[in-house]
A = this chain, B = another copy of it.
Amino acid sequence: MKDEQGILFILSGPSGVGKGTVRKQLFEEDSELQYSISVTTRNPREGEQDGVDYFFKSRDQFEDMIEQNELIEYAEYVGNYYGTPKKYVEDTLKAGKDVFLEIEVQGALKVRDTFPHGVFIFLFPPSLDELKNRIINRGTESEELIRNRLLEAKKEIEMMDAYDYVVVNDEIDNAVRRIQSIVVSEHCKRERVYQQYKKALGSELL
């Protein structure tokens, strides 16, 4: 059963929900997953290595990649590009290794176009009450601003519709355990293993 392809897992969710923290702890505990290395035009910080932390590219190189359709998704923050390289993800999956992508909600929806069989995980705040309290208690904000933030939150939750799983981030340990369970359980999905068994059955067993 070792000719199996890796699975692409995409972790996303509203900003501030704790995606980065959850992803970091997940990778401290799990060495089987391969974190998807992003491409960026920003300068390497001290200690950062090309091909480990990021693929570092010039602005021209990055824009070439956009034109050549070599990025699954990309965005620009504070004057620098960040993107997910298609070839790296495809090669890692083909080598039978799972790839883990942590990404904003908008980017995640674009990944779905290229990898419809990816497993999309939506990280969610502990409760709607808490989400509401967080939004309301952010400071001395106008009622209109609060109203807009609530509407924004509503929109983000509506996006859950495009996801396979919803993981509540009540405690980081719990959220990590749930994501680990999703990884294990996705590898047991019948449609992922059935063809392999059937093939083996035809050739070996009878």
**Chain A residues with a Cβ under 8 A of chain B:** 1, 121-122, 124, 127-129, 131-132, 150-151, 153-154, 157, 160-161, 163-168, 177-178, 180-186, 188-190, 193-194, 197-198, 200-201, 204-206
Contacts and interface: CB of A to CB of B under 8 A. Distances in A.
Given A165-B185, A181-B184, 8 more contacts: A150-B205, A151-B206, A154-B201, A165-B188, A166-B197, A178-B188, A180-B181, A181-B188
A197 B168 CA distance: 11
10 contacts: A124-B197, A128-B200, A150-B205, A157-B201, A160-B190, A163-B190, A166-B189, A166-B194, A181-B181, A181-B188
Of the candidates A132, A157, A181, A182, the one having the most CB atoms from chain B within 10 angstroms of its own CB is: A181
A181 to B, nearest CB: 4
Number of copies: 2
A129 B182 CA distance: 28
Contacts of A127: 1
Contact of A128 (B181, B185, B204): B204
A190 B122 contact: yes
A122 B132 CA distance: 42
Nearest to A126: B1
A185 to B, nearest CB: 4
A161 B198 CA distance: 10
